[in-house]
Structure formats: structure tokens, C-alpha cells
């Protein structure tokens, strides 16, 4: 057996699955190739919380046997992947990024893990993450039991969070795709910093059953992949109603490509102010991106989001829900095992928040939803930079490193809007730069079509980091 | 939008820092306010200490975070929610499972 080289390990799922289906690529060999790369590079990136080689080999052998007998399950059959360590996996510890949950076991798989298993995908291990997905806050990249997420493009820079391992593993060629979650930014941020493609689905598109609850009216599960086409494949596999998650909507899981008249769709460019904290290189990349998108036939104009205190209401609700989600860790004192020094103080810090405040924030959220529904009567999608700077140095205080707001993220997450993060170039020190499309609820198919359009015209998603 | 990109006063600047960490934190109970290097060093230290022995820099940051919450609550409380606005969630009685 000769292990597949980087040329194969960096292929998108669409290509890997074609080779597996045609039996030109063995799932066992592919799995061994990734396991070897994980053994070599995983610790340098702090990408994995736990690698599960024996389980992976067994799944790969099963896939290979089935395929050789003509029972091909579909495009993820025999495809390895990694799951953020907040998805329950029977028989494998699920530690939520903190030693406070060391050895935590669940007796069944999260719904998304089960669906991927049923599709024949091969779990390589649990991916590193920021403790509690950042639910009790963090100020430094090292707020994780796995250590700071190290960026495959420069290991002295951060991956972004909280799906740090998901970004590092996909970006570094350790897995062809990964599962992440986003409450506010945790898929889009590592996607931008690590130069990968990620989708934050509409709230309710994907079941959270078996996933750690951080802020349950904000939490979303989504894929980080090498391409928009791969995101489509993974999202179609994990989406859909689930009796174990009453918030999982009964929307069609299929997200078919459509022939679109791009000129007839209206895009809203939400301009960001780079003058105070943004990096000019990132601004320039985004300007070039807009030019390329116009060249592809998109019709876009500058627009503004509804005037609304979206950041405040989102922050308040997330805070309240996270304090409830992790209350038991305060009761038994395990919160002191978190690396963020302020986490133990959060109930005290937030004691002034009343129930009436929270209920009002919920009601304001509904008002904001209506305003955004009106916005999407005028526009079909939003296009805006993902971040205004590249990944910061690993040791830097994140408050200082990234001192700007995220109005699109606030509105997008408060309203449960889907978004796709796409690589679009490089900034200083040749670190990846990304942008995002955001759409109305349930319009992931449009976002994926936009992403595929972009990626047929550019090769940024195919770039590989200088990692060996 | 208060705390948004368009504002330029000191309060809003602090709010943007909180907003960012919300972003990267996937939502956070931490309150993002003033960022100073000595405070950062203190924050990076081990957390196993009692309230009485909290370093001054950490105490100051906790005070900052409380102040940020105060500002956030002011925004929420001053927002003029239109009379008759929708409730956020609809309560549904849970049907009993009876044996037949």
C-alpha cells in the first residue's frame, strides 16, 4: 500500500468521491494517508482533541468492502472527516474543549455524526475547539484544552475560533471536511483565517441533537470544506428534521443547483469602515473581489442594514443562555478549570441583567427579524468582508488584535440567517482573506450557487498552505 | 447603530471590542471592554484564587465588564418596543402521554 500524497489529500470531496466510486481510490488508503498526515502535523496545529485511528480504520474497511460489492451509498461513502469535540460520539470522549469535561462520555452519537456514519463517512477524530465554544468568553487563543489553534498558513498565527480545529484541519489538509458550529462567528471566523469554505446554515436547518448547547436559540451546525460544492454535499447529508431536536425544521434537505439569471438578482454590499482598525490589504482584496463578482454578472449596490441595536440584543441573549447552559459548572466549581480567568466571574458580572431585560431582548429580536424580512424583499443576498484583518499572532490579546465590530454577524446570527465564507485572496504575510455572502432564511441553495460561481472563476480555495 | 461600526464615541469603541469577541467566541458571557497589556497578563495567569486575592488588574477588568453590561442594558431598556409587538416565543401546552 502506498499512501496518497498531498495532491490527493488536498482534493475536494467531489473529486475524492468520484475516485472512490470508480474504485480508483481506496477508502482504506485514503484514511491511512490522512492518519499519517495527522500524526505528522496535527500536534503542530493543535488541530485534534483526540484522533480515533482504530475506529477510522474499521469504518474505512467497511466502506471499502461495501463499495467493492457494489453497494455505493453516495458521495460521502469512504470519505474521512473530523468533528468538533462538542458532538457526542458513543464510545469516544467528548470534552467540549476543556479539562472541566475530561473523560465526558455520551452513550449515543449526535444526530449529525449518525447521519454521516449512515452516509458511509469515516470519522478520523474529534477536533479541537475553544472551551465551551467560547460560551463563557475568552480573550486568548490558548483558551482550549488542546492549546491554541495554530494556523496552517503560519503556525505563529491563530486559526480563529471557536471551531479552531475544524479550520486548522481542513486548511492544513488533515481532513477533507469538518463539522463545526456557530453561535456567533465560529464557522465564519476560522473559515476566513484558515482559507477554507464554510457554511453557517439557517438556524434549524441542521439538528443540534447531541451537540453541546451553548446558546440554543443561536447555535447552528455547519460544514467547513475545500469548496462550496463540498459544502453542498455535506450540508445536504446532515440537514433535515429530527425528532430529537424540535428546532430542526422540516425543510427539504436537498439544495439543488439552479440556473440563475445573476443580473436579475440584487446584491447588497454592506461596506465596512477600514479606516480605524481594518488592514488595507484586506480592503484591497475585497475591492478586487467585488470587481470580479461584477465581472461574473452580479448586480450589486451599496446598502445599509436596518438601524437596530442587534449586537446588544444578541450579546444579552447569548450571555443569558450560556450562563444557563453551563450553570452546573458553577455549582460544582469546575468552571475554575477553564483557562479564561474571567469565566468564573460571569454570573457576578451579569447579575444586573433581569428577566425582563431578557424577554425584551427576545421581543426586539422578533422586530429585527421583521426588519430583515423587509430588507430581503429588496435584496437577494448580502456581500461583505468576512474579517477586516488576517489571522492575528497566537499570543496576542484578542481584544487588541481584532478591535472592530461585526454588524453583519450580529444581524445574521440574531435572525438565524445563512452565510457562506469564501476565500478571496491573501493579506499581509500571505495570510488568507475571505468574504461572505449572507441570504434570507432557507436560501442556502442560492449561497452555494454563488459560492460555486465564485470558485469557478477563482482558485483561492485550491491554494495550499506552506506546511510540510 | 449603537456599538456598531458607524459610532465613534468611547462607549461605542468599547462596545465594538465586546462585539468582536462575541464574534470569535461563538457567543460569550465575557464582556469585552478595555484592553490593556497589564490586564492581559493578569488574565493569562491561573484562575484558582479566591475573591479576596484577585489581582487589581483582573478586578478592574471585571468592573469594565460590569460597566459594559450596564451600557448594554441601557440600550435594551431604552429601546422603544412598539406596543403590541409580537411575543418572542409561543408557549404550547405539552400533551400528556396516556396509556390506551
Q: What is the pLDDT of residues A449-464, one digit of tens each?
A: 999 999 999 999 999 9
Q: How far is CA B65 from the centre of its chain?
A: 7
| Furthest CA-CA distance within chain A | 64
Mean pLDDT, residues A289-303? 98
Give catalytic status of residue A324 as yes or no.
Answer: no
Most A-contacting residue of B10, B19, B24 (CB-CB within 10 A), to test interface: B24
pLDDT of residue B50: 52
**Helix A228-238 and helix A13-21: axis angle, to 10°?**
70
Q: What is the pLDDT of residues A313-336, one digit of tens each?
A: 999 999 999 999 999 999 999 999
The overall average pLDDT reported for chain B is 63
Between the two ends of chain B, the Cα-to-Cα distance in Å is 57
pLDDT of residue A399: 87
Mean pLDDT, residues A292-298? 98
Higher pLDDT residue, B14 or A183? A183
* Residues A234 and A223: beta-carbon distance below 8 Å: yes
Q: Which three cell numbers stand for residue A199?
A: 457554511
How many residue pairs bridge chain A and chain B with CB atoms within 8 Å of each other?
A: 240
Mean pLDDT, residues A89-98? 98
Would you call A162 and B26 a contact, using CB atoms and an 8 Å cutoff?
A: yes
Would you call A184 and B27 a contact, using CB atoms and an 8 Å cutoff?
A: yes
Is the pLDDT at B30 greater than 80? The verdict is no
d(CA A335, CA A127): 21
Q: What is the pLDDT of residues A213-253, one digit of tens each?
A: 999 999 999 999 999 999 999 999 999 999 999 999 999 99
d(CA A442, CA A444): 6
CB contact B75 to A (< 8 Å): yes
Q: Which residue of A has its CA nearest to B80?
A: A364
Handedness of CA A20, A23, A27, A32 (dihedral sign): negative
Share of chain A above pLDDT 70, in %: 100
pLDDT of residue A455: 98
* Cα-based distances in Å from B24 to A136, A182, A344, A401, A410: 12, 9, 19, 12, 12
Is the pLDDT at B24 greater than 60? The verdict is no
What are the residues whose beta carbons fall under 8 Å from the beta carbon of B61, sequence distance 6 or more? A342, B33, B34, B39, B42, B43
DSSP B67: H
**Looking at CA atoms only, how far is residue B92 from chain A in angstroms?**
13
pLDDT of residue B52: 63
Is the pLDDT at A212 greater than 60? The verdict is yes
Give catalytic status of residue A22 as yes or no.
Answer: no
Q: What is the ipTM of this complex?
A: 0.89
Would you call B85 and A363 a contact, using CB atoms and an 8 Å cutoff?
A: yes
What's the pTM? 0.91
pLDDT of residue B1: 26
Higher pLDDT residue, A60 or B12? A60
DSSP A344: G
Is the pLDDT at A1 greater than 60? The verdict is yes
Marked catalytic residue, from A26, A84, A146, A227: A84
CB contact B92 to A (< 8 Å): no
Helices vs. strands in chain A: H and E counts, helices first: 16, 13
Higher pLDDT residue, A299 or A405? A299
Kindly report which listed range (A44-48, A60-64, A368-372, B91-95) carries the lowest average pLDDT score.
Answer: B91-95
Mean pLDDT, residues B12-17? 44
**Beta bridge mates, A125:** A51, A82
d(CA B22, CA A304): 22
Contacts of A135 in chain B (CB under 8 A): 25-29
Mean pLDDT, residues A155-159? 98
* Residues A49 and A165: beta-carbon distance below 8 Å: yes
Among A358, A277, A292, A288, which residue's Cα sits nearest to residue A323? A358
pLDDT of residue B100: 64
Q: Tell me how crowded residue A2 is: count the other CB atoms within 10 A of its CB.
A: 7
Higher pLDDT residue, B93 or A167? A167
**Beta bridge mates, A301:** A268
Q: What is the pLDDT of residues A94-105, one digit of tens each?
A: 999 999 999 999
**Beta bridge mates, A261:** none
* Residues A113 and A88: beta-carbon distance below 8 Å: yes
CB contact B22 to A (< 8 Å): yes
pLDDT of residue B94: 82
Share of chain A above pLDDT 90, in %: 97
Is the pLDDT at B10 greater than 70? The verdict is no
Mean pLDDT, residues A124-140? 97
CB contact B11 to A (< 8 Å): no
Contacts of A352 in chain B (CB under 8 A): 66, 69-70, 73
* Residues A262 and A453: beta-carbon distance below 8 Å: yes
The overall average pLDDT reported for chain A is 97
**Looking at CA atoms only, how far is residue A171 from chain B in angstroms?**
18
Q: Which residue of B has its CA nearest to A306?
A: B1
Q: What is the pLDDT of residues A336-370, one digit of tens each?
A: 999 999 999 999 999 999 999 999 999 999 999 99
Amino acid at each position: 500500500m502506498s499512501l496518497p500524497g498531498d495532491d490527493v489529500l488536498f482534493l475536494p470531496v467531489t473529486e475524492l468521491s468520484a475516485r472512490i466510486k470508480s474504485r480508483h481510490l481506496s477508502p482504506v488508503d485514503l484514511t491511512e494517508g490522512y492518519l499519517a498526515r495527522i500524526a505528522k502535523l496535527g500536534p503542530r496545529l493543535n488541530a485534534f482533541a483526540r484522533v480515533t485511528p482504530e475506529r477510522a480504520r474499521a469504518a474505512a474497511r467497511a466502506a471499502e468492502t461495501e463499495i467493492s460489492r457494489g453497494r455505493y451509498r453516495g458521495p460521502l461513502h469512504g470519505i474521512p472527516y473530523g468533528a468538533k469535540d462538542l458532538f457526542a460520539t458513543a464510545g469516544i470522549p467528548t470534552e467540549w474543549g476543556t479539562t472541566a469535561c475530561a473523560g465526558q462520555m455520551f452513550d449515543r452519537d449526535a444526530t449529525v455524526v449518525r447521519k454521516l456514519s449512515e452516509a458511509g463517512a469515516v470519522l478520523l477524530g474529534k477536533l479541537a475547539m475553544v472551551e465551551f465554544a467560547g460560551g463563557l468568553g475568552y480573550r486568548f487563543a490558548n483558551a482550549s484544552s488542546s492549546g491554541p489553534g495554530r494556523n496552517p498558513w503560519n503556525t505563529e498565527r491563530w486559526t480563529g475560533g471557536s471551531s479552531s480545529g475544524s479550520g486548522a484541519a481542513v486548511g492544513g489538509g488533515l481532513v477533507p471536511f469538518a463539522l463545526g458550529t456557530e453561535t456567533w462567528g465560529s464557522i465564519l471566523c476560522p473559515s476566513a483565517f484558515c482559507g477554507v469554505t464554510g457554511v453557517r446554515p439557517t438556524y434549524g436547518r441542521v439538528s443540534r441533537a447531541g451537540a453541546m448547547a451553548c446558546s440554543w436559540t443561536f447555535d447552528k451546525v455547519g460544514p467547513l470544506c475545500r469548496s462550496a460544492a463540498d459544502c453542498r454535499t455535506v450540508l445536504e447529508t446532515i440537514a433535515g428534521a429530527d425528532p430529537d431536536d424540535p428546532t430542526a425544521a422540516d425543510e427539504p434537505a436537498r439544495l439543488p443547483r439552479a440556473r440563475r439569471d445573476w443580473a436579475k438578482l440584487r446584491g447588497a454590499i454592506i461596506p465596512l469602515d477600514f479606516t480605524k482598525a481594518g488592514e488595507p490589504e484586506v480592503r484591497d482584496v475585497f475591492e478586487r473581489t467585488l470587481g470580479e463578482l461584477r465581472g461574473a454578472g452580479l448586480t450589486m449596490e451599496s446598502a445599509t442594514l436596518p438601524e437596530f441595536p442587534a449586537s446588544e440584543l444578541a450579546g444579552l441573549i447569548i450571555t443569558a443562555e450560556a450562563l444557563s447552559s453551563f450553570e452546573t459548572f458553577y455549582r460544582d466549581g469546575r468552571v475554575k478549570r477553564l483557562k479564561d480567568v474571567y469565566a468564573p466571574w460571569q454570573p457576578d458580572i451579569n447579575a444586573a441583567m433581569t428577566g425582563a431585560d431578557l424577554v425584551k431582548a427576545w421581543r426586539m429580536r422578533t422586530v429585527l427579524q421583521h426588519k430583515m424580512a423587509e430588507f430581503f424583499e429588496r435584496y437577494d443576498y448580502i456581500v461583505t468582508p468576512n474579517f477586516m484583518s488576517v489571522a492575528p499572532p497566537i499570543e496576542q490579546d484578542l481584544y487588541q488584535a481584532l478591535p472592530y465590530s461585526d454588524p453583519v454577524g450580529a444581524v445574521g446570527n440574531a435572525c438565524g440567517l445563512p452565510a457562506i465564507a469564501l476565500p478571496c485572496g491573501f493579506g499581509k504575510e500571505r495570510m488568507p482573506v475571505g468574504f461572505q455572502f449572507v441570504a434570507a432564511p432557507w436560501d442556502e441553495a442560492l449561497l452555494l450557487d454563488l459560492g460555486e460561481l465564485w470558485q469557478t472563476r477563482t482558485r483561492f480555495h485550491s491554494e495550499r498552505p506552506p506546511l510540510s | 447603530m449603537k456599538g456598531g461600526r458607524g459610532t465613534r464615541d468611547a462607549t461605542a469603541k468599547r462596545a465594538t471590542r465586546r462585539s468582536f469577541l462575541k464574534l470569535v467566541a461563538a457567543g460569550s458571557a465575557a464582556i469585552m471592554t478595555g484592553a490593556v497589556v497589564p490586564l492581559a497578563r493578569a488574565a493569562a495567569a491561573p484562575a484558582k484564587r479566591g475573591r479576596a486575592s484577585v489581582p487589581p488588574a483582573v478586578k478592574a477588568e471585571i468592573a469594565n465588564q460590569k460597566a459594559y453590561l450596564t451600557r448594554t442594558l441601557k440600550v435594551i431598556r431604552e429601546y422603544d418596543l412598539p406596543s403590541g409587538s409580537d411575543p418572542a416565543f409561543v408557549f404550547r401546552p405539552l400533551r400528556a402521554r396516556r396509556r390506551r
